[in-house]
């Protein structure tokens, strides 16, 4: 956890209450960044994203239509959440509701897996630097 320190006192030759606009902008940017860090640390649902991440499918046993649906659901989840567990939970719950139980979802940057799945119900892909594994079991 980082600590924010700074001096907001008077600046030489500028009077007692004057802060330069550069100092204010830098402090504002630092505080905004720190606020986003705190929200992410607390599991905030807010994860502002500029553009949708492009999917790179690594392995799939799934129809093209369902693959596209998975990617859209994952993009939406990554737009809403910053914590991998929350992203995985959103994807899993969405597919349990839409396609029936039981779906399993793993989201992360570094994991190994070996799974048994129902035929035509498996996909492993990347969105940005994040890997997503989604599969269905009986």
Dump pLDDT digits (tens) for 36-65. Answer: 454 455 454 544 545 788 999 999 999 999
* Domains, the chain, ordered by start: 1-42 (no CATH), 55-136 (3.30.740.10)
CB distance 134 to 105 below 8 Å: yes
2 pLDDT higher than 80:
no
| Angstrom distance (rounded) from CA 131 to CA 36 | 23
Specify the pTM.
0.65
Residue-wise pLDDT for 79-125, tens only, equals: 999 999 999 999 999 999 999 999 999 999 999 999 999 999 999 99
CA separation for the pair 80, 99 (Å, rounded)? 22
Mention every residue, 6+ apart, whose C-beta is less than 8 A from residue 99: 121, 136
């Amino acid at each position: 956890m980082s600590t924010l320190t700074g001096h907001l006192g008077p600046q030489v030759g500028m009077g007692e209450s004057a802060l330069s606009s550069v100092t204010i902008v830098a402090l504002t940017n630092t505080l905004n960044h720190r606020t986003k860090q705190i929200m992410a640390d607390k599991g905030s649902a807010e994860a502002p994203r500029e553009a949708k991440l492009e999917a790179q499918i690594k392995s799939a046993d799934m129809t093209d239509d369902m693959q596209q649906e998975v990617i859209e659901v994952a993009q939406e989840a990554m737009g809403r959440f910053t914590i991998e567990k929350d992203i995985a939970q959103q994807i899993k719950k969405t597919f349990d509701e839409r396609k029936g139980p039981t779906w399993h979802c793993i989201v992360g940057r570094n994991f190994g897996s070996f799974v048994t799945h129902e035929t035509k119900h498996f996909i492993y892909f990347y969105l940005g630097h994040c890997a997503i594994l989604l599969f269905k079991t009986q």
